[in-house]
Protein backbone atom coordinates (compact mmCIF):
# COMPACT_ATOMS: atom_id res chain seq x y z
CA UNK A 1 0.00 0.00 0.00
CA UNK A 2 2.86 2.34 0.90
CA UNK A 3 4.58 1.51 -2.38
CA UNK A 4 1.43 2.29 -4.37
CA UNK A 5 0.99 5.65 -2.66
CA UNK A 6 4.68 6.43 -3.28
CA UNK A 7 4.25 5.68 -6.99
CA UNK A 8 1.12 7.83 -7.15
CA UNK A 9 2.87 10.71 -5.42
CA UNK A 10 5.80 10.39 -7.85
CA UNK A 11 3.40 10.42 -10.82
CA UNK A 12 1.69 13.52 -9.46
CA UNK A 13 5.06 15.22 -9.07
CA UNK A 14 6.04 14.32 -12.65
CA UNK A 15 2.71 15.66 -13.90
CA UNK A 16 3.24 18.92 -12.00
CA UNK A 17 6.80 19.21 -13.34
CA UNK A 18 5.70 18.72 -16.95
CA UNK A 19 2.82 21.18 -16.57
CA UNK A 20 5.17 23.72 -15.03
CA UNK A 21 7.47 23.26 -18.04
CA UNK A 22 4.68 24.14 -20.50
CA UNK A 23 3.57 27.09 -18.36
CA UNK A 24 7.09 28.52 -18.10
CA UNK A 25 7.68 27.81 -21.79
CA UNK A 26 4.94 30.15 -22.95
CA UNK A 27 5.31 32.86 -20.29
CA UNK A 28 7.92 35.60 -20.85
CA UNK A 29 10.77 36.33 -20.35
CA UNK A 30 12.27 33.88 -22.84
CA UNK A 31 15.74 32.50 -22.22
CA UNK A 32 16.81 32.63 -25.88
CA UNK A 33 20.52 33.07 -25.17
CA UNK A 34 20.58 30.13 -22.78
CA UNK A 35 18.58 27.96 -25.20
CA UNK A 36 21.15 28.67 -27.94
CA UNK A 37 23.97 27.84 -25.54
CA UNK A 38 22.28 24.58 -24.57
CA UNK A 39 21.70 23.71 -28.25
CA UNK A 40 25.43 24.09 -28.74
CA UNK A 41 26.13 21.93 -25.65
CA UNK A 42 23.64 19.24 -26.65
CA UNK A 43 23.94 19.30 -30.43
CA UNK A 44 27.39 20.40 -31.45
CA UNK A 45 29.23 18.55 -28.70
CA UNK A 46 27.36 15.30 -29.50
CA UNK A 47 28.26 15.50 -33.17
CA UNK A 48 31.49 13.42 -33.18
CA UNK A 49 29.87 10.57 -31.22
CA UNK A 50 26.68 10.66 -33.31
CA UNK A 51 28.71 10.75 -36.55
CA UNK A 52 30.73 7.71 -35.63
CA UNK A 53 27.75 5.74 -34.35
CA UNK A 54 25.52 6.62 -37.32
CA UNK A 55 28.22 5.74 -39.83
CA UNK A 56 28.97 2.38 -38.18
CA UNK A 57 25.25 1.57 -37.88
CA UNK A 58 24.71 2.10 -41.62
CA UNK A 59 27.81 0.12 -42.55
CA UNK A 60 27.16 -2.81 -40.21
CA UNK A 61 23.43 -2.99 -40.98
CA UNK A 62 24.21 -3.21 -44.69
CA UNK A 63 26.82 -5.91 -44.19
CA UNK A 64 24.46 -7.90 -41.96
CA UNK A 65 21.49 -7.59 -44.34
CA UNK A 66 23.40 -8.59 -47.49
CA UNK A 67 23.54 -12.41 -46.89
CA UNK A 68 19.77 -12.63 -46.35
CA UNK A 69 19.02 -10.75 -49.57
CA UNK A 70 21.77 -12.61 -51.45
CA UNK A 71 19.93 -15.91 -50.83
CA UNK A 72 17.12 -14.62 -53.06
CA UNK A 73 19.44 -12.83 -55.46
CA UNK A 74 17.97 -9.53 -54.29
CA UNK A 75 21.03 -7.57 -53.22
CA UNK A 76 19.97 -4.80 -55.62
CA UNK A 77 17.21 -4.04 -53.10
CA UNK A 78 19.79 -3.22 -50.43
CA UNK A 79 19.62 0.61 -50.85
CA UNK A 80 15.82 0.56 -50.56
CA UNK A 81 15.90 -1.74 -47.53
CA UNK A 82 18.60 0.29 -45.82
CA UNK A 83 16.93 3.64 -46.46
CA UNK A 84 13.61 2.42 -45.03
CA UNK A 85 15.29 0.88 -41.99
CA UNK A 86 17.50 3.89 -41.28
CA UNK A 87 14.93 6.62 -41.84
CA UNK A 88 11.95 4.88 -40.26
CA UNK A 89 13.65 3.34 -37.26
CA UNK A 90 17.41 3.36 -36.83
CA UNK A 91 18.30 7.06 -37.16
CA UNK A 92 15.94 8.44 -34.48
CA UNK A 93 16.43 5.45 -32.21
CA UNK A 94 20.24 5.36 -32.37
CA UNK A 95 20.44 9.15 -31.95
CA UNK A 96 18.06 9.10 -28.98
CA UNK A 97 19.86 6.23 -27.25
CA UNK A 98 23.26 7.87 -27.69
CA UNK A 99 21.86 11.22 -26.57
CA UNK A 100 20.12 9.77 -23.53
CA UNK A 101 23.44 8.25 -22.46
CA UNK A 102 25.49 11.37 -23.13
CA UNK A 103 23.11 14.30 -22.74
CA UNK A 104 20.51 12.83 -20.35
CA UNK A 105 23.12 11.74 -17.82
CA UNK A 106 24.92 15.08 -18.16
CA UNK A 107 21.73 17.05 -17.49
CA UNK A 108 20.81 14.80 -14.54
CA UNK A 109 24.26 15.07 -12.97
CA UNK A 110 24.62 18.80 -13.61
CA UNK A 111 21.25 19.80 -12.17
CA UNK A 112 21.60 17.23 -9.36
CA UNK A 113 24.93 18.68 -8.34
CA UNK A 114 23.53 22.23 -8.56
CA UNK A 115 20.66 21.20 -6.32
CA UNK A 116 22.90 19.52 -3.75
CA UNK A 117 25.29 22.48 -3.55
CA UNK A 118 22.39 24.96 -3.25
CA UNK A 119 23.25 26.64 -6.57
CA UNK A 120 19.60 26.38 -7.62
CA UNK A 121 18.53 28.10 -4.38
CA UNK A 122 21.22 30.75 -4.96
CA UNK A 123 19.78 31.40 -8.41
CA UNK A 124 16.29 31.72 -6.96
CA UNK A 125 17.27 34.18 -4.24
CA UNK A 126 19.18 36.32 -6.73
CA UNK A 127 15.96 37.04 -8.63
CA UNK A 128 16.27 34.43 -11.39
CA UNK A 129 13.64 31.81 -12.09
CA UNK A 130 15.81 28.65 -11.99
CA UNK A 131 13.12 26.47 -13.58
CA UNK A 132 12.96 28.68 -16.64
CA UNK A 133 16.71 29.18 -16.84
CA UNK A 134 17.80 25.60 -16.21
CA UNK A 135 14.90 23.30 -17.12
CA UNK A 136 13.04 25.07 -19.93
CA UNK A 137 16.23 25.95 -21.79
CA UNK A 138 17.55 22.37 -21.63
CA UNK A 139 14.30 20.68 -22.61
CA UNK A 140 13.77 23.08 -25.52
CA UNK A 141 17.38 22.51 -26.61
CA UNK A 142 17.04 18.71 -26.64
CA UNK A 143 13.65 18.93 -28.39
CA UNK A 144 15.19 21.09 -31.14
CA UNK A 145 18.56 19.41 -31.53
CA UNK A 146 17.64 15.71 -31.38
CA UNK A 147 15.52 15.94 -34.60
CA UNK A 148 18.39 17.78 -36.33
CA UNK A 149 20.86 15.20 -35.06
CA UNK A 150 18.53 12.38 -36.18
CA UNK A 151 18.40 13.77 -39.74
CA UNK A 152 22.17 14.06 -39.64
CA UNK A 153 22.49 10.47 -38.35
CA UNK A 154 20.27 9.29 -41.22
CA UNK A 155 22.58 11.00 -43.74
CA UNK A 156 25.75 9.65 -42.12
CA UNK A 157 24.19 6.16 -41.81
CA UNK A 158 23.21 6.19 -45.47
CA UNK A 159 26.75 7.26 -46.31
CA UNK A 160 28.15 4.33 -44.34
CA UNK A 161 25.74 2.02 -46.13
CA UNK A 162 26.81 3.47 -49.49
CA UNK A 163 30.44 2.59 -48.81
CA UNK A 164 29.48 -1.04 -48.34
CA UNK A 165 27.07 -1.11 -51.31
CA UNK A 166 29.63 0.61 -53.51
CA UNK A 167 32.33 -1.82 -52.53
CA UNK A 168 30.35 -5.07 -52.91
CA UNK A 169 27.66 -4.25 -55.51
CA UNK A 170 29.64 -1.55 -57.36
CA UNK A 171 26.59 0.76 -57.19
CA UNK A 172 27.35 4.35 -58.17
CA UNK A 173 26.45 7.22 -55.85
CA UNK A 174 23.75 8.59 -58.19
CA UNK A 175 22.03 5.23 -58.57
CA UNK A 176 22.28 4.66 -54.83
CA UNK A 177 20.72 8.03 -54.00
CA UNK A 178 17.92 7.46 -56.55
CA UNK A 179 17.11 4.05 -55.05
CA UNK A 180 17.21 5.45 -51.51
CA UNK A 181 14.77 8.27 -52.24
CA UNK A 182 12.45 6.12 -54.37
CA UNK A 183 11.87 3.86 -51.38
CA UNK A 184 11.22 6.63 -48.88
CA UNK A 185 7.94 8.52 -48.58
CA UNK A 186 7.15 11.84 -46.93
CA UNK A 187 5.42 9.90 -44.19
CA UNK A 188 8.72 8.15 -43.39
CA UNK A 189 10.49 11.48 -43.03
CA UNK A 190 7.59 12.77 -40.94
CA UNK A 191 7.83 9.71 -38.67
CA UNK A 192 11.58 10.32 -38.25
CA UNK A 193 11.00 13.93 -37.19
CA UNK A 194 8.02 13.09 -34.99
CA UNK A 195 9.91 10.36 -33.16
CA UNK A 196 12.97 12.55 -32.75
CA UNK A 197 10.92 15.44 -31.33
CA UNK A 198 9.24 13.13 -28.80
CA UNK A 199 12.55 11.44 -27.92
CA UNK A 200 14.30 14.80 -27.55
CA UNK A 201 11.59 16.10 -25.23
CA UNK A 202 11.74 12.87 -23.21
CA UNK A 203 15.52 12.99 -22.79
CA UNK A 204 15.41 16.62 -21.69
CA UNK A 205 12.45 16.43 -19.32
CA UNK A 206 13.54 13.15 -17.68
CA UNK A 207 17.13 14.40 -17.17
CA UNK A 208 15.88 17.69 -15.75
CA UNK A 209 13.26 16.04 -13.51
CA UNK A 210 15.79 13.63 -12.04
CA UNK A 211 18.41 16.33 -11.50
CA UNK A 212 16.05 19.04 -10.26
CA UNK A 213 14.47 16.71 -7.72
CA UNK A 214 17.57 14.83 -6.64
CA UNK A 215 17.88 14.24 -2.93
CA UNK A 216 20.66 15.70 -0.90
CA UNK A 217 24.18 14.33 -1.06
CA UNK A 218 26.56 13.04 -3.69
CA UNK A 219 24.72 9.72 -3.80
CA UNK A 220 21.67 11.64 -5.02
CA UNK A 221 23.68 13.14 -7.91
CA UNK A 222 24.83 9.70 -9.07
CA UNK A 223 21.29 8.38 -8.75
CA UNK A 224 19.90 11.31 -10.74
CA UNK A 225 22.35 10.73 -13.59
CA UNK A 226 21.72 6.98 -13.56
CA UNK A 227 17.93 7.26 -13.47
CA UNK A 228 17.96 9.93 -16.16
CA UNK A 229 19.52 7.40 -18.55
CA UNK A 230 17.50 4.35 -17.44
CA UNK A 231 14.14 6.12 -17.47
CA UNK A 232 14.66 7.97 -20.74
CA UNK A 233 15.84 4.80 -22.53
CA UNK A 234 12.83 2.88 -21.23
CA UNK A 235 10.43 5.64 -22.28
CA UNK A 236 12.09 5.95 -25.70
CA UNK A 237 11.31 2.29 -26.45
CA UNK A 238 7.74 2.65 -25.21
CA UNK A 239 7.27 5.76 -27.36
CA UNK A 240 8.84 3.99 -30.35
CA UNK A 241 6.18 1.28 -30.15
CA UNK A 242 3.36 3.81 -29.82
CA UNK A 243 4.55 6.08 -32.65
CA UNK A 244 5.08 3.10 -34.99
CA UNK A 245 1.45 2.08 -34.37
CA UNK A 246 0.24 5.61 -35.10
CA UNK A 247 2.30 5.89 -38.30
CA UNK A 248 1.15 2.48 -39.46
CA UNK A 249 -2.45 3.53 -38.91
CA UNK A 250 -1.78 6.69 -40.93
CA UNK A 251 -0.12 4.66 -43.68
CA UNK A 252 -3.12 2.35 -43.88
CA UNK B 1 22.67 45.57 27.04
CA UNK B 2 22.89 46.07 23.30
CA UNK B 3 26.40 46.10 21.89
CA UNK B 4 27.25 49.38 20.16
CA UNK B 5 27.76 48.47 16.56
CA UNK B 6 26.95 51.00 13.86
CA UNK B 7 23.74 52.98 13.72
CA UNK B 8 20.71 50.90 14.53
CA UNK B 9 17.21 52.29 14.13
CA UNK B 10 15.18 50.51 16.80
CA UNK B 11 12.02 52.22 15.59
CA UNK B 12 12.08 50.46 12.21
CA UNK B 13 11.94 46.69 11.89
CA UNK B 14 12.94 45.31 8.48
CA UNK B 15 12.02 41.71 9.31
CA UNK B 16 9.12 40.74 11.52
CA UNK B 17 8.56 37.03 12.12
CA UNK B 18 5.46 36.15 14.11
CA UNK B 19 4.51 32.77 15.55
CA UNK B 20 6.15 30.84 12.72
CA UNK B 21 6.15 27.04 12.82
CA UNK B 22 7.69 24.62 10.36
CA UNK B 23 7.70 20.83 10.39
CA UNK B 24 9.31 18.26 8.09
CA UNK B 25 7.24 15.11 8.33
CA UNK B 26 6.90 14.34 12.00
CA UNK B 27 9.83 16.55 12.96
CA UNK B 28 8.79 19.92 14.40
CA UNK B 29 11.73 22.17 13.62
CA UNK B 30 10.33 25.58 14.50
CA UNK B 31 7.51 25.91 17.05
CA UNK B 32 6.00 29.36 17.11
CA UNK B 33 9.06 31.52 16.54
CA UNK B 34 8.92 35.32 16.96
CA UNK B 35 11.77 37.49 15.70
CA UNK B 36 12.41 41.10 14.76
CA UNK B 37 15.37 42.54 12.90
CA UNK B 38 15.87 46.28 13.20
CA UNK B 39 17.25 48.54 10.53
CA UNK B 40 21.06 48.58 10.56
CA UNK B 41 21.29 45.75 13.06
CA UNK B 42 23.46 42.62 12.98
CA UNK B 43 21.40 39.90 14.63
CA UNK B 44 23.08 36.60 15.41
CA UNK B 45 21.00 33.42 15.64
CA UNK B 46 22.78 30.79 17.70
CA UNK B 47 21.76 27.19 18.07
CA UNK B 48 22.82 23.58 17.70
CA UNK B 49 23.02 21.93 14.30
CA UNK B 50 19.63 20.75 13.10
CA UNK B 51 17.63 23.15 15.27
CA UNK B 52 16.19 25.00 12.28
CA UNK B 53 18.47 28.06 12.02
CA UNK B 54 18.95 27.69 8.27
CA UNK B 55 15.26 26.84 7.88
CA UNK B 56 14.44 30.18 9.47
CA UNK B 57 16.37 32.25 6.90
CA UNK B 58 15.05 30.10 4.06
CA UNK B 59 11.56 30.95 5.30
CA UNK B 60 12.46 34.64 5.40
CA UNK B 61 13.76 34.56 1.82
CA UNK B 62 10.70 32.62 0.63
CA UNK B 63 12.64 29.47 -0.32
CA UNK B 64 10.41 27.58 2.13
CA UNK B 65 6.85 28.27 3.27
CA UNK B 66 5.90 28.24 6.95
CA UNK B 67 3.17 25.90 8.21
CA UNK B 68 1.76 28.66 10.42
CA UNK B 69 2.55 32.27 11.25
CA UNK B 70 3.50 35.35 9.24
CA UNK B 71 6.79 36.74 7.93
CA UNK B 72 7.00 40.40 7.02
CA UNK B 73 10.09 41.60 5.15
CA UNK B 74 10.51 45.29 4.33
CA UNK B 75 6.78 45.76 4.89
CA UNK B 76 5.65 42.89 2.66
CA UNK B 77 4.10 39.61 3.74
CA UNK B 78 6.39 36.98 2.17
CA UNK B 79 3.76 34.22 2.19
CA UNK B 80 1.20 36.30 0.33
CA UNK B 81 3.44 37.45 -2.52
CA UNK B 82 3.09 35.99 -6.01
CA UNK B 83 6.17 34.68 -7.82
CA UNK B 84 6.97 37.99 -9.53
CA UNK B 85 6.60 40.11 -6.38
CA UNK B 86 8.68 37.60 -4.44
CA UNK B 87 11.42 37.82 -7.06
CA UNK B 88 11.45 41.62 -6.71
CA UNK B 89 11.59 41.40 -2.92
CA UNK B 90 14.47 38.93 -3.13
CA UNK B 91 16.55 41.53 -4.95
CA UNK B 92 16.58 43.45 -1.67
CA UNK B 93 17.72 40.39 0.29
CA UNK B 94 21.25 39.02 -0.01
CA UNK B 95 21.65 35.36 0.90
CA UNK B 96 25.13 34.06 1.66
CA UNK B 97 24.98 30.26 1.60
CA UNK B 98 26.88 27.95 3.93
CA UNK B 99 28.86 26.41 1.06
CA UNK B 100 28.93 29.67 -0.90
CA UNK B 101 26.84 28.07 -3.72
CA UNK B 102 29.03 29.57 -6.45
CA UNK B 103 28.10 28.47 -9.98
CA UNK B 104 30.77 25.85 -10.77
CA UNK B 105 30.64 26.32 -14.51
CA UNK B 106 31.25 30.08 -14.37
CA UNK B 107 34.32 32.18 -13.56
CA UNK B 108 34.28 34.56 -10.59
CA UNK B 109 33.46 37.44 -12.97
CA UNK B 110 30.54 35.51 -14.53
CA UNK B 111 29.27 34.51 -11.07
CA UNK B 112 29.11 38.17 -10.08
CA UNK B 113 27.71 39.32 -13.41
CA UNK B 114 24.91 36.77 -13.37
CA UNK B 115 22.49 38.55 -10.97
CA UNK B 116 23.34 41.94 -12.50
CA UNK B 117 22.83 40.92 -16.12
CA UNK B 118 19.55 39.25 -15.32
CA UNK B 119 18.05 41.88 -13.06
CA UNK B 120 19.50 45.18 -14.29
CA UNK B 121 19.21 44.81 -18.03
CA UNK B 122 19.66 48.52 -18.65
CA UNK B 123 23.31 48.46 -17.51
CA UNK B 124 26.02 48.80 -20.15
CA UNK B 125 28.99 46.43 -20.36
CA UNK B 126 31.22 49.12 -18.87
CA UNK B 127 28.87 49.68 -15.93
CA UNK B 128 28.65 45.93 -15.27
CA UNK B 129 32.46 45.63 -15.30
CA UNK B 130 32.74 48.59 -12.94
CA UNK B 131 30.18 47.11 -10.51
CA UNK B 132 31.86 43.70 -10.54
CA UNK B 133 35.32 45.13 -9.95
CA UNK B 134 34.07 47.48 -7.23
CA UNK B 135 32.35 44.76 -5.23
CA UNK B 136 35.25 42.34 -5.69
CA UNK B 137 37.58 45.02 -4.43
CA UNK B 138 35.34 45.41 -1.36
CA UNK B 139 35.93 41.78 -0.43
CA UNK B 140 39.63 42.02 -1.33
CA UNK B 141 39.58 39.53 -4.17
CA UNK B 142 39.96 41.56 -7.33
CA UNK B 143 42.95 39.45 -8.50
CA UNK B 144 40.73 36.33 -8.54
CA UNK B 145 38.31 37.81 -11.09
CA UNK B 146 39.06 35.35 -13.87
CA UNK B 147 39.48 32.24 -11.72
CA UNK B 148 37.06 29.33 -11.54
CA UNK B 149 35.39 28.59 -8.15
CA UNK B 150 37.25 25.25 -8.00
CA UNK B 151 40.55 27.16 -7.91
CA UNK B 152 39.59 29.14 -4.79
CA UNK B 153 40.09 28.33 -1.11
CA UNK B 154 37.14 27.97 1.28
CA UNK B 155 37.61 31.49 2.64
CA UNK B 156 37.88 32.98 -0.85
CA UNK B 157 34.71 31.18 -1.92
CA UNK B 158 32.88 32.66 1.09
CA UNK B 159 34.07 36.14 0.16
CA UNK B 160 33.02 35.71 -3.47
CA UNK B 161 29.64 34.36 -2.28
CA UNK B 162 29.18 37.49 -0.16
CA UNK B 163 30.34 39.69 -3.05
CA UNK B 164 27.78 38.08 -5.37
CA UNK B 165 24.97 38.95 -2.98
CA UNK B 166 26.28 42.50 -2.46
CA UNK B 167 26.32 43.30 -6.15
CA UNK B 168 22.56 43.92 -6.13
CA UNK B 169 22.99 46.29 -3.16
CA UNK B 170 20.62 44.44 -0.83
CA UNK B 171 19.07 46.09 2.20
CA UNK B 172 19.10 42.84 4.18
CA UNK B 173 21.87 40.24 4.37
CA UNK B 174 21.26 36.67 5.50
CA UNK B 175 24.44 34.77 6.33
CA UNK B 176 24.18 31.00 6.74
CA UNK B 177 27.12 29.75 8.81
CA UNK B 178 29.61 32.26 7.38
CA UNK B 179 32.60 30.82 9.26
CA UNK B 180 31.79 27.10 9.08
CA UNK B 181 34.77 24.98 8.05
CA UNK B 182 37.27 27.85 8.02
CA UNK B 183 40.53 28.26 9.94
CA UNK B 184 40.59 30.80 12.83
CA UNK B 185 42.47 33.49 10.87
CA UNK B 186 40.04 33.28 7.93
CA UNK B 187 37.14 33.33 10.43
CA UNK B 188 38.44 36.63 11.82
CA UNK B 189 38.70 38.00 8.27
CA UNK B 190 35.13 36.93 7.44
CA UNK B 191 33.85 38.46 10.69
CA UNK B 192 35.61 41.68 9.77
CA UNK B 193 34.05 41.55 6.33
CA UNK B 194 30.54 41.14 7.79
CA UNK B 195 31.09 44.26 9.89
CA UNK B 196 32.53 46.13 6.90
CA UNK B 197 29.51 45.20 4.82
CA UNK B 198 27.20 46.50 7.54
CA UNK B 199 29.04 49.79 7.67
CA UNK B 200 29.71 50.33 3.96
CA UNK B 201 26.41 49.10 2.50
CA UNK B 202 24.20 50.02 5.50
CA UNK B 203 22.69 46.55 5.59
CA UNK B 204 20.65 44.87 8.31
CA UNK B 205 21.79 41.28 8.76
CA UNK B 206 20.87 37.95 10.27
CA UNK B 207 23.89 35.79 10.91
CA UNK B 208 23.25 32.10 11.51
CA UNK B 209 26.12 30.46 13.34
CA UNK B 210 27.25 28.24 16.16
CA UNK B 211 30.64 29.93 16.24
CA UNK B 212 30.68 32.05 19.39
CA UNK B 213 33.73 34.06 18.32
CA UNK B 214 31.80 35.08 15.23
CA UNK B 215 28.71 35.85 17.31
CA UNK B 216 30.70 38.02 19.70
CA UNK B 217 32.52 39.83 16.93
CA UNK B 218 29.61 40.68 14.63
CA UNK B 219 26.45 40.53 16.76
CA UNK B 220 24.64 43.64 17.96
CA UNK B 221 22.06 41.33 19.47
CA UNK B 222 22.04 37.56 19.89
CA UNK B 223 19.11 35.16 20.03
CA UNK B 224 19.39 31.49 20.85
CA UNK B 225 17.22 28.84 19.25
CA UNK B 226 16.42 26.12 21.76
CA UNK B 227 13.87 23.35 21.17
CA UNK B 228 12.31 25.16 18.23
CA UNK B 229 11.86 28.49 20.01
CA UNK B 230 13.93 31.59 20.78
CA UNK B 231 14.37 31.23 24.52
CA UNK B 232 17.28 33.57 25.13
CA UNK B 233 17.92 37.02 23.74
CA UNK B 234 20.33 39.84 24.48
CA UNK B 235 24.00 40.76 24.35
CA UNK B 236 26.69 38.10 24.18
CA UNK B 237 27.46 38.29 27.91
CA UNK B 238 23.78 38.25 28.90
CA UNK B 239 23.07 35.18 26.80
CA UNK B 240 25.70 33.07 28.53
CA UNK B 241 25.08 34.35 32.04
CA UNK B 242 23.03 31.28 32.89
CA UNK B 243 23.20 27.79 34.35
CA UNK B 244 20.95 26.37 31.64
CA UNK B 245 22.51 23.05 30.65
CA UNK B 246 21.38 23.55 27.06
CA UNK B 247 23.38 26.79 26.83
CA UNK B 248 26.50 26.30 28.96
CA UNK B 249 28.18 23.64 26.76
CA UNK B 250 28.22 26.13 23.88
CA UNK B 251 30.34 28.56 25.84
CA UNK B 252 32.47 25.91 27.52
CA UNK B 253 33.33 24.24 24.19
CA UNK B 254 34.01 27.42 22.24
CA UNK B 255 36.20 28.97 24.92
CA UNK B 256 37.70 25.69 26.23
CA UNK B 257 36.61 26.18 29.78
Question: How many helices (H) and strands (E) in chain B?
Answer: 9, 10
The pLDDT, as a whole number, for residue B3 is 46
Q: Is residue B204 part of a domain?
A: yes
The domain limits of chain A are: 52-251
Contacts of B112 in chain A (CB under 8 A): none
**Over 60: is that where the pLDDT of B123 sits?**
yes
Instruction: Say yes or no: A219 contacts chain B, CB-CB below 8 A.
Output: no
Question: Residue A197 in contact with residue A147, Cβ under 8 Å?
Answer: yes
The pLDDT, as a whole number, for residue B1 is 36
Question: What is the extent of the structural domain holding B61?
Answer: 9-92+170-254
Q: What is the CATH number of the domain that holds B18?
A: 3.40.50.300
Instruction: Say yes or no: A20 contacts chain B, CB-CB below 8 A.
Output: no
How do residues B136-177 score in pLDDT, each as one tens digit? Answer: 998 889 999 999 999 999 999 999 999 999 999 999 999 999
Q: Is residue B228 part of a domain?
A: yes
CB contact under 8 A, A126 and B168: yes
How many structural domains are present in chain B? 1
CB contact under 8 A, A127 and B119: yes
How do residues A155-165 score in pLDDT, each as one tens digit? Answer: 999 999 999 99
Q: Are strands B172-176 and B204-209 parallel, antiparallel or unpaired?
A: parallel
**Over 70: is that where the pLDDT of A168 sits?**
yes
Q: Is residue B245 part of a domain?
A: yes
CB contact under 8 A, B114 and A126: yes
The pLDDT, as a whole number, for residue B256 is 52
Q: Which of A114, A121, A127 sits opposite B115 (nearest CB)?
A: A127
- The mean pLDDT of B182-209, rounded to a whole number, is 91
Q: Which of B63, B88, B99 sits opposite A124 (nearest CB)?
A: B63
CB contact under 8 A, B99 and A126: no
Determine the distance in angstroms separating the CA of A114 from the nearest CA of chain B, rounded to an integer. 8
Which A residues in the span 121-150 are in contact with B, Cβ-Cβ below 8 Å? Answer: 121-129
The closest of A118, A105, A141 to A31, measured between CA atoms, is: A141
CB contact under 8 A, A119 and B102: yes
For B103, name the nearest residue in chain A, comparing CA atoms only. Answer: A119
Q: Which of B93, B101, B104 sits opposite A121 (nearest CB)?
A: B101
Task: Tell whether ipTM is more than 0.90.
Answer: no
The burial of A183, by beta-carbon neighbours within 10 Å (0-12 exposed, 13-18 middle, 19 or more buried), is given as middle
Residues 6+ apart with CB under 8 A from B83: A129
Q: Which of A113, A114, A127 sits opposite B90 (nearest CB)?
A: A127
3-state DSSP call for residue A126? coil
Amino acid sequence: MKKVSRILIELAQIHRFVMQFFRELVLPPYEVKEIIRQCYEVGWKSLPLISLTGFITGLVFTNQSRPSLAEFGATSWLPALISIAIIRALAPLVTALIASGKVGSQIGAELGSMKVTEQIDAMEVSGTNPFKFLVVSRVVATTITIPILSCYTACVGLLGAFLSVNQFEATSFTVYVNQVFEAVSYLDVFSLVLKAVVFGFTIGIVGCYQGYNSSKGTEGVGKAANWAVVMSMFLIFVEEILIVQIIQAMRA
Amino acid sequence: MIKAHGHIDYETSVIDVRNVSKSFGKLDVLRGVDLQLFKGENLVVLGRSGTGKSVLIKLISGLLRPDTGTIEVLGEQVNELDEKALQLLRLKIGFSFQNSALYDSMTVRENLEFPLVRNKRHLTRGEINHEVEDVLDSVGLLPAINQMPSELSGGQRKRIGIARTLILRPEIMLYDEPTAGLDPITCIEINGLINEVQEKYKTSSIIITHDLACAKSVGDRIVMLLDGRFEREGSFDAIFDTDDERVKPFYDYNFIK
